[in-house]
Each structure stands twice: as C-alpha cells, then as structure tokens.
C-alpha cells in the first residue's frame, strides 16, 4: 500500500523520501524515482509531512518512538496503517504535549490496486485543521475521504469496516452455497443480490473479481484480515460491547481456518464456507 501511495505522489510531482528496512522495497522505490533515507532518524528530518503504512499498532508505536525526537517542529504524521484507536490517541496526545507534531489516523480501504490507482477510501480522525491542510495531498492518494471524528475515530471506523468485510465474505459464501443447492447459478444469484438490499462490497467486487474465477490474488492476506478480526474483538472487549452475531464468524477466521496460511489471499476464507462456489 505504501509503495502505491509513493508512486502516486511521484507521478503528481511531489518529492518523496522513503524508508523501509527491506532492501528489496528500497530498490523498488528508488526505481520509481523516490529517494531512500538511510535511517528513521534521517527520515524524520526529511519532510514536514510523513505517511506511515505499517503492519500493526505495535510497529507504529515503535517507529514513532524512533522518529519523534528528530521530527521537524510542525510535522504532520498521517498514519494509514490499520492500527488501534488507543494507540492513535496516545500518540496524538504526545505530539500535542510536546508541541512538535500532529498525529492523524488515516486508515485506507481498497487494497494495493486502489493504492496504485489513487482510488482508495480514507477514514480520518484527528485535528481538522491539520487534515484540511493535507487536502491537496489526499486528493492524489484517494478517491474519497471521510472525517469520522477526533483522534482514534479513523481507526475505530476502519476496524468496524473490516469487521463487516470479514463477515460479508463468510455470509455471501453461505448465500451462494444455499442458492446453488437450490439450482441457482452463482453469477445469476449475485446479480439478483446486487440489485437488492443484500448487496455489499463483497458481493459486488470480491466474488466476481477474486472468488468465482478462482483468482484469489487481491493482494490482501489471511494474516492481515485475521489481525483485523482480532482488533475488532479486542475493541469490543475494551469498550464493553457485545458482538454475539460476529463471534462465530470471528472463530472461523481465527481458529477454524488453520488450513489456510497467513500468506493466503483473504478471499480464500470462502473455500472454508463454500466448497462448491469455486466450481461454477
């Protein structure tokens, strides 16, 4: 995702400096026209706007610990990772207390293809004036931005979004199986569903693009969705919210699909719930 965003900014004429511990990714970014910082320290002083695209909240905190002593005053941090609301709130409070930086949570949806095409949706939480100042940059990276509240709100909304995506993959697979058992072709069933109130991003995009044709190459993995399902459960526990409808679906992702490795495409969860859908 980060590579796609960097390429979009380069194409739009922005000067981009990147850092990643992977030599392979460094070489890819250099080939695209970006400069590569030799360290996080150097990265911190290279720009007044820094975009994070990281695997989880723990790594976001670790990177921010390394960056923050070296940041230019007034730096805006745009965290596009799928992280945890409390992590964003804590980092935003630290930045405000230090008077050094503003931390904006800005998780994105759409996957690598949308990142490369600039068609991502971004859910934003944090200081509105800082978000407003980023609009020219955001217009290059995204097709739609939604400010959902203060610090942490962006990540809470993204967790809710991915919770629904995880549930819809399971439920649409079951709906296809039910339709096929009743003699309805999967494509015809989905056309009907997508014309009605049961439609979702999964029925409209995932199934025709990655499931029914056995492609399973969306670029988003089982491991990443398992992480996001875990974040939903953790957020529910910390806020005292009961999720009885989601609990069984969460078990399917977290404990009942162990035959699917973390590096498998996340759409392959439908193989677990719908053994016949791939044979249409």
For the stretch 26-53, pLDDT in tens is 999 999 999 999 999 999 999 999 999 9
Contact 51, 20 (CB under 8 A): no
Q: Is the pLDDT confidence value at 273 over 80?
A: no
Q: What percent of the chain has pLDDT over 90?
A: 93
CA separation for the pair 184, 161 (Å, rounded): 29
Mean pLDDT of 254-264: 95
**CA-based end-to-end distance of the chain:** 32
What is the number of residues in the chain?
280
Bridge partners (DSSP) of residue 52 are 79
CA dihedral 130, 159, 83, 104 (to 10 degrees): 0
Q: Is 144 a catalytic residue?
A: no
Domain ranges for the chain: 2-151, 156-279
Question: Is domain 156-279 annotated with CATH 1.10.1040.10?
Answer: yes
Per-residue pLDDT at 206? 96
**Count of beta carbons in the 10 Å neighbourhood of residue 55:** 13
Q: Is the pLDDT confidence value at 278 over 80?
A: no
Inter-residue long-range contacts of 91-98, CB under 8 Å, 24+ positions, other chains counted: 91/60, 91/61, 91/64, 92/126, 92/127, 92/151, 92/152, 93/151, 94/68, 95/68, 98/68
Contact 163, 246 (CB under 8 A): yes
Q: Is the pLDDT confidence value at 158 over 60?
A: yes
pLDDT confidence bin for 121, thresholds 50/70/90: very high
What is the average pLDDT score of the chain?
94
Tens of pLDDT, residues 185-209: 999 999 999 999 999 999 999 999 9
Contact 273, 174 (CB under 8 A): yes
Q: Is the pLDDT confidence value at 238 over 50?
A: yes
pLDDT confidence bin for 276, thresholds 50/70/90: very low
pLDDT confidence bin for 112, thresholds 50/70/90: confident
CA separation for the pair 94, 92 (Å, rounded): 5
Q: Is the pLDDT confidence value at 275 over 50?
A: no
Q: Which of 158, 209, 234, 251 is catalytic?
A: 158
Per-residue pLDDT at 272? 81
CATH architecture of 2-151: 3-Layer(aba) Sandwich (3.40)
Mean pLDDT of 144-167: 97
Q: Is the pLDDT confidence value at 277 over 60?
A: no
Tens of pLDDT, residues 63-109: 999 999 999 999 999 999 999 999 999 999 999 999 999 999 999 99
CA dihedral 267, 55, 52, 160 (to 10 degrees): 60
């Amino acid at each position: 995702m980060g590579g796609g965003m960097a390429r979009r900014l380069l194409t739009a004429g922005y000067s981009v400096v990147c850092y990643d511990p992977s030599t392979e990714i460094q070489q890819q970014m250099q080939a695209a026209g970006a400069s590569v910082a030799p360290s996080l320290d150097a990265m911190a002083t290279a720009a007044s706007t820094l975009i994070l695209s990281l695997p989880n909240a723990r790594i976001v905190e670790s990177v921010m610990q390394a960056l923050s002593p070296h940041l230019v005053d007034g730096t805006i941090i745009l965290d596009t990772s799928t992280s945890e609301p409390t992590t964003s709130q804590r980092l935003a409070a630290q930045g405000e207390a230090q008077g050094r930086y503003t931390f904006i949570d800005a998780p994105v949806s759409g996957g690598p293809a949308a990142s490369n095409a600039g068609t991502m949706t971004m859910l934003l939480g944090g200081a509105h004036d800082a978000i407003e100042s980023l609009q020219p940059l955001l217009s290059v990276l995204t097709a739609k931005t939604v400010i959902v509240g203060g610090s942490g709100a962006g990540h809470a909304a993204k967790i809710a979004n991915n919770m629904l995506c995880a549930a819809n993959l399971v439920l649409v697979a079951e709906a296809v199986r039910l339709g096929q058992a009743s003699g309805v072709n999967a494509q015809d069933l989905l056309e009907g569903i997508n014309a009605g109130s049961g439609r979702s991003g999964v029925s409209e995009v995932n199934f025709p693009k990655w499931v029914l044709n056995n492609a399973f190459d969306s670029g988003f993995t089982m491991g990443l969705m398992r992480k996001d399902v875990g974040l939903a459960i953790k957020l529910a526990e910390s806020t005292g919210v009961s999720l009885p409808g989601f609990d069984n679906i969460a078990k399917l992702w977290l404990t009942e699909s162990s035959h699917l490795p973390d590096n498998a495409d996340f759409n392959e969860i439908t193989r677990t719930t719908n053994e016949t859908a791939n044979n249409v």
